[in-house]
Structure 1
Amino acid sequence: MWNDFAQYIMNEVGDEPVTIAEIAVGKFDRIADELSKKDNITLIKTDISPKDSTVIMDDITNPNLKLYENVDLIYSIRPPSELQPHLVNLACEIDSQLIIKPLTNEDLNTGKVKMKLKNFNRASFYILK
């Protein structure tokens, strides 16, 4: 499933140079590791409590918009429901595509903004373009 999720993102961005942000990284790097292998992808990882020096400290409830100025796509894996409206707000503010991979069977908390359920091979997630 994780390979399918990474593959979907790589298919979405194609071969043009892009900047992608993973928000609320936590300790799970599998997708970031896959995306980092692509030469055309610049990856920014943020979390309120960075696990190491590869993760930038940022609070999505009050984001540093300068960090996200050139971001083309945001994704977040299993973000807590209370953070989901903030992800939507940021994506709308910077005009970025958003992908949320919630916990299995978890409802989204995105307020009035409706995200589309996407199934790609064995991966299921929500997108906002």
Structure 2
Amino acid sequence: MGNYKHIEECFSRYIIGNYQSAAEVGVGRNFTVAERIACAGVAVRTTDIFPQQPPAGVPFFRDDVCTPDLTRYHDTELIYAVRPGIEMVPCIIALARSVNADCIIYHLGNEIYERGGRIIDCGVVLHQYYSRT
């Protein structure tokens, strides 16, 4: 589990240093990144297709990333995911494009989607699949 802590710490620091608002899709039961960035003052929302119990201070709503409620994501600079199922990735990218938010994913193992997007090395390898600028 120590490796997961390193991944989440690096990803959190990157988000904190680059964004004012973010939405984590497919959060599951792992709210570590969202909790860390919320504590640092980044406006964060989390979502999953299944009901979850978020920690205090981390907003959560149920949503299906493949048929998302776009109104929930407007004014969000970043859509991100930590180890999403590869089948979710096209939907995450489409969501980010729809609301003009950056899309950054930390993949499970050595997975990538298509060509892997732009690589961000922040201590771990992140994949940026869409940029709002």
Q: Same fold (TM over 0.5)?
A: yes
Residue 106 of structure 2: aligned partner: 101
User: Gaps spanning 5+ residues in structure 1: where?
Assistant: none
Aligned match of 2:22 in 10, 17, 20?
20
Residue type of the alignment partner of 2:14: Y
**Structure ranking higher in helix proportion:** 2
Q: CA deviation at 1:89?
A: 0.5
Q: How does 1:3-42 map to 2 (within 5 A)?
A: 3-13=9-19, 18-39=20-41, 41-42=42-43
Whole-angstrom distance in 1 between the partners of 2:94 and 2:53: 26
Q: CA deviation at 1:114?
A: 5.7
Residue type of the alignment partner of 2:109: T
Q: How does 1:1-80 map to 2 (within 5 A)?
A: 1=6, 2-13=8-19, 18-39=20-41, 41-52=42-53, 54-80=59-85
Whole-angstrom distance in 1 between the partners of 2:116 and 2:110: 17
Identity fraction in percent: 26
Residue type of the alignment partner of 1:3: E
Q: Check whether the contact 2:47–2:63 (CA below 8 A) recurs between aligned residues.
A: yes
* Structure 2 residue 131 is the aligned partner of structure 1 residue 116: no
Whole-angstrom distance in 2 between the partners of 1:38 and 1:106: 29
CA RMSD of aligned residues (A): 1.6
Residue 89 of structure 1: aligned partner: 94
Q: CA deviation at 1:77?
A: 0.6
Whole-angstrom distance in 1 between the partners of 2:21 and 2:72: 11
Deviations 1:46-100 (A, max 9, x none): 0000212642000011000010111111110111111100111111111101110
Whole-angstrom distance in 2 between the partners of 1:107 and 1:89: 16
User: Gaps spanning 5+ residues in structure 2: where?
Assistant: 1-5
Deviations 1:7-55 (A, max 9, x none): 1111112xxxx3210000001111111001123x211100000212642
Whole-angstrom distance in 2 between the partners of 1:116 and 1:47: 25
